[in-house]
Amino acid sequence: MMIMSYEILPGPSLAELARTALARAAAATVSEAGPANARQDVAGRVPVRTRPDGSPLLLAATGSMLEQRLTTCPDAVTVSVPAAVPFSSLRLTGTARAVARDTAARITACAVALRSVEFGGAVPAEVPVEAFHAAAPDPLWRVAPGILEHLENGHMAELAGCVRAHGLVEADWVIPRGLDRHGLELLVLTPDGTVAVRLSFPDGPVSSLEEVPASIRTMLTCRCRSGPGHEYRRRQSRRAAGE
- pLDDT (0 to 100) of residue 116: 97
Containing H/E element for 94? Answer: strand 89-102
Q: Which of 160, 211, 224 is nearest to 183 (CA)?
A: 211
Number of C-alpha atoms within 13 angstroms, CB side, residue 61?
7
Domains and CATH numbers, the chain: 14-134 (2.30.110.10), 140-240 (3.20.180.10)
**What pLDDT was estimated at residue 233?**
37
Weakest-pLDDT range from 32-41, 75-84, 199-208: 32-41
Which residues contact residue 11 at a Cβ distance below 8 angstroms, ignoring those fewer than 6 apart? 180, 182, 185, 198
Whether pTM > 0.75 for this model: the answer is yes
Summarised one tens digit per residue, pLDDT across range 93-113 is 999 999 999 999 999 999 999
